[in-house]
């Protein structure tokens, strides 16, 4: 009798299991569409909030993985809707504090299933290994479900994981090693795991502090350039601050552009490439740049006109400094010095650099003659 009852229970469980798999098969397209829709929505929300994210990925749990999960925890999942991670989205931030910023946005825009959401970062006791994500299980908000494009996703849930790059790195390597739990790790290896976890946590904090220090430095630059330009060393941030705020540089570039009816555009990458060139010609501080521009501003304008006969109408901010470097090299060195400069910065095709150096030197001499 007991055996007959056990067989009946087993058959009943099998029927429930089969029904859940069949329901998954029927709703697979819906889950796929829902996941893609939420991923696109999350991307748009993060962009609107000006949150720079390293990556956003999504997936739906495949049939084989679902079978394993249902089989492993059959008592927990009495119906398919109990499985909260069929749809999954992972947000990877650059820094640890950005995890909380992204989390706040998710809280504001989605209906959170608090019973199934967990901040696993709080589980990191001193004897625990690794970095763990912030996990949310969410549904679309009632307001969003009223929109036609979202109505068919009523009741659908998605698990959203949020972690920093370093947290993600730990999780991926830990998974690859195959030793996720503390007790599974050989005793002699545990201390090394703990040390590495501490180093990664420290690195995450340090990167955040470096970002904050850079922001503070950049904010202070405009006033420092006014008060003590000789104390402001040339780097990308200080050079960009100078270019944005210098009336002298803007006037020189206005003259360069007005001859061609062009416009100046912002290009921070271009500015970054100028730093090494300025150092090469001996300019180390903002005061050095100001002094050189005051002395050679007129020559730069004439030099650019003599050197380039094209119809360029768009110029990057800071272009006058590019030609200032050419002018200083031409003034202090021979054609060979100009050739060395071109080769050092890989300017122009290698086979043409000698002729370019000759043209630059000739244009400089013409500009000097016109100045006199």
**Tens-place pLDDT, residues 16-47:** 677 888 888 889 999 999 999 999 999 999 99
Q: Which domains does the chain have, with CATH numbers?
A: 2-203 (3.30.460.10), 228-371 (no CATH)
Render pLDDT for 125-181 as a digit per residue (tens, 0 to 9).
544 545 567 899 999 999 999 999 999 999 999 999 999 999 888 878 776 776 555
Taking residue 117's Cβ as centre, other Cβ atoms within 10 Å add up to 18
- 117 vs 223 pLDDT, higher one: 223
Strands (E), 115-233: 118-119, 134-140, 158-164
Question: Would you state the pLDDT for residue 132?
Answer: 63
Identify the pLDDT of residue 167: 86
- What are the tokens at 35? 């996941």
Distance CA 258, CA 170 (A): 55
pLDDT at 196 over 90: no
Give residue 197's pLDDT band: very low, low, confident or very high (50, 70, 90): confident
| Cα 91-94-97 angle, rounded to 5 deg | 90
Q: What is the pLDDT of residues 318-361, one digit of tens each?
A: 999 999 999 999 998 788 999 999 999 999 999 999 999 999 99
pLDDT tens digits, one per residue of 73-123: 666 777 888 888 999 999 999 998 999 999 999 999 999 998 888 886 666
| Closest to 109 (Cα-Cα) out of 149, 59, 72, 145 | 145
Per-residue model confidence (pLDDT) at position 218: 96
Could you tell me what percentage of the chain is helix, strand and coil, using 3-state DSSP and rounding each to the nearest 5? 65, 10, 20
Burial of 112 (0-12, 13-18, 19+ CB in 10 A): middle
- The per-residue pLDDT of the chain, averaged, comes to 86
In this prediction, residue 5 carries a pLDDT of 46
Other CB atoms within 10 Å distance of the CB of residue 264: 18
CB 61 within 8 A of CB 85: yes
pTM of the model: 0.75
What would the two tokens of residue 33 be?
């569409």
**Residue tagged 């180390």 (tokens):** 284
């Amino acid at each position: 009798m007991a055996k007959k009852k056990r067989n009946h229970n087993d058959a009943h469980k099998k029927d429930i299991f089969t029904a859940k798999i069949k329901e998954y098969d029927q709703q697979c397209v819906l889950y796929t569409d829902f996941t893609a829709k939420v991923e696109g929505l999350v991307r748009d929300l993060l962009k609107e909030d000006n949150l720079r994210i390293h990556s956003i990925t999504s997936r739906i749990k495949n049939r084989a993985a679902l079978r394993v999960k249902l089989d492993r925890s059959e008592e927990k999942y009495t119906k398919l809707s109990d499985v909260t991670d069929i749809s999954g989205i992972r947000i990877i931030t650059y820094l640890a504090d950005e995890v909380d910023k992204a989390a706040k946005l998710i809280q504001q825009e989605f209906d959170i299933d608090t019973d199934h959401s967990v901040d696993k970062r709080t589980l990191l006791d001193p004897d625990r290994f690794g970095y763990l994500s912030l996990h949310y299980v969410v549904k679309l908000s009632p307001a969003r479900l009223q929109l036609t494009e979202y109505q068919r996703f009523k009741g659908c849930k998605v698990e959203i994981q949020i972690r920093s790059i370093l947290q993600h790195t730990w999780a991926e390597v830990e998974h690859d090693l195959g030793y996720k739990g503390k007790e599974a790790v050989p005793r002699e290896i545990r201390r090394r795991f703990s040390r590495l976890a501490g180093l990664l946590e420290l690195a995450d904090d340090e990167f955040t502090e470096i970002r904050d220090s850079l922001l503070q430095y950049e904010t202070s630059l405009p006033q420092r350039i006014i008060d003590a330009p000789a104390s402001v060393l040339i780097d990308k941030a200080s050079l960009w601050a100078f270019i944005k705020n210098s009336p002298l540089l803007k006037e020189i570039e206005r003259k360069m552009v007005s001859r061609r009816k062009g416009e100046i555009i912002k290009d921070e990458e271009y500015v970054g490439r100028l730093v090494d060139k300025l150092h090469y010609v001996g300019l180390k501080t903002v005061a050095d740049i100001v002094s050189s521009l005051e002395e050679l501003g007129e020559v730069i304008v004439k030099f650019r006109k003599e050197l380039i006969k094209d119809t360029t109408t768009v110029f990057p901010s800071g272009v006058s400094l590019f030609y200032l470097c050419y002018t200083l090299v031409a003034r202090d060195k021979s054609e060979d010095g100009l050739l060395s400069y071109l080769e050092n910065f890989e300017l122009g095709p290698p086979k043409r650099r000698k002729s370019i150096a000759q043209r630059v030197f000739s244009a400089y001499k013409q500009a000097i003659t016109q100045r006199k």
